[in-house]
Amino acid sequence: MTNTRALRLGLLAGAALLASVAGSWAQGTYTIGVSNTVQGNGWREEMICAIKAEALASGKVAKLNIAHRNTDAAGQSEDIRNLISAGVNAIVVNPADPSGINAALKEATDKGIVVVAVDQAVTEPSAYVVSNNQEQYAYLGAKWLFQQIGGKGDVVYMRGAAGASADSDRDKGFKKALAEFPDVKVVQEVFTGWQQDQGKQQILDFIATGTPFNGIWTSGIDNVIVDALVESQTPLVPVVGADNAGFVGQLNTVPNFTGAAVTNPGSIGAAGVTLALQILDGKKPAEQTVLVDPQLWENATAEGKAKLKAAADPSLSPEWPVSISIPGWTDYTKEQIVACKGPGE
């Protein structure tokens, strides 16, 4: 009897210990800092929600410390230093400038904090980078546009934010395609700042000049550009944008409209969390930089229309990319990213 009772007590104690360990694991052990410098942009909002969802789904993150505001490299450096002082284990950063925050990043890595730049590269060699391939993003879309207008004509070039490494990389890709089509000319070049209202007003102002144009390439500010064409009763020209839900919907439904969406998932933020956790767990990648290659979906062919129809998701915010996950990098559900809740929320 005594031995049986002792065995039962031992089993109960073991079960309690396992439950305690499991509870600790479920709560997570790491604190991850996040630094982002653009608010009011649907892509960046999806990125933040993806970071929260992946941190929650991983079971390894106890807390997120998020600095999410409109600022420049100096302001972001301040945010990063505040995250260092807060004692985070890793920082996922969408950089305002490829080199302007290097000093702050180096301070973080010198203290053993893992730094992962997402969406855009940084030049600080101690930081890791996981990014959509921005040069290829622009090249794919620009080449398709130039082919679509017959290899000659005038195009409007609507860039992102001046000085941002993603914009600089996209400019390389755009100009690589432009070099292949010498009869295509850029009739207007503007920086939208990746702001919807600003981009829409810029194209309306240009339309008002009466200058003819044959196509528009956008750096992901796209559905409002189509809205501007329709509202101003301007003849529809081919438009290239990103895989934002609103633009994908337009490619499926707007009559007599031809365009292409190039994938640029905001869920790359979640990939940054995954990479940071792998490194914290001692699994460093073979390369310091990991690139996710984009795809192009167009509505000029039956095959392209089928891809766009399959990708469409009207339940998402129009400014959110429909690519809400990245195979091999994200583990959350659609419900989790839409809920936009991180650990402890």
Q: Give CA angle at 152 (293, 210), nearest 5°.
A: 105
Whether residue 312 is contained in a domain is answered as no
Type of residue numbered 2: T
What's the pTM value of the predicted model, to 2 decimals? Answer: 0.85
Residue 310 lies in a domain: no
What strands lie across the sheet with 90-93, from one edge to the other?
Answer: 61-68, 30-36, 90-93, 114-118, 128-132, 289-292
Given this model, what pLDDT does residue 224 score?
97
Please indicate, yes or no, whether residues 247 and 140 belong to a single structural domain of this protein. yes
- Please check whether residues 143 and 52 belong to one and the same domain: no
Contact, 222 vs 239, CB < 8 A? yes
Structure-token match 């008002």, residue found: 208
In a domain, 325, yes or no: no
The residue whose two tokens read 């915010």 is 317
122 to each of 94, 114, 274, how far by Cα in Å? 9, 14, 18
Residue 2 lies in a domain: no
Distance CA 98, CA 122 (A): 4
Give the model's pLDDT for residue 39: 86
66: part of which helix (H) or strand (E)?
A: strand 61-68
Residue 40, pLDDT score: 83
CATH number at residue 95: 3.40.50.2300
Extract the residue ranges of the chain whose pLDDT is less than 70: 1-27
164 burial via Cβ count (<10 Å: 0-12, 13-18, 19+): buried
Whether 202 maps to a domain, the answer reads yes
Residue among 50, 136, 135 at smallest CA distance from 92: 50
Residue 8's pLDDT is 36
Indicate whether 187 and 277 sit together in one domain: no
Instruction: Examine residue 315 and state whether it is found in any structural domain, yes or no.
Output: no
Q: Are residues 38 and 117 in the same domain?
A: yes
Count of domains in the chain?
A: 2
d(CA 134, CA 167): 8
Q: Do 85 and 108 sit in the same domain of this protein?
A: yes
Alpha helix (H) residue ranges in the chain: 2-27, 42-58, 73-85, 102-110, 134-148, 165-179, 196-208, 223-231, 245-253, 268-280, 302-311, 334-339
Looking at the fold, whether 47 and 150 belong to one and the same domain comes out as no
My answer on whether 194 and 218 are in the same domain is: yes
Together in a domain, 91 and 108:
yes
Q: How many CA atoms lie within 13 A of 34 on its CB side?
A: 26
Domain hosting 147: range is 134-262
The answer to whether residue 305 is domain-embedded is no
Whether residue 249 sits in one domain with residue 147:
yes
Q: State residue 7's pLDDT score.
A: 30
In a domain, 288, yes or no: yes
Q: Are residues 168 and 252 in the same domain?
A: yes
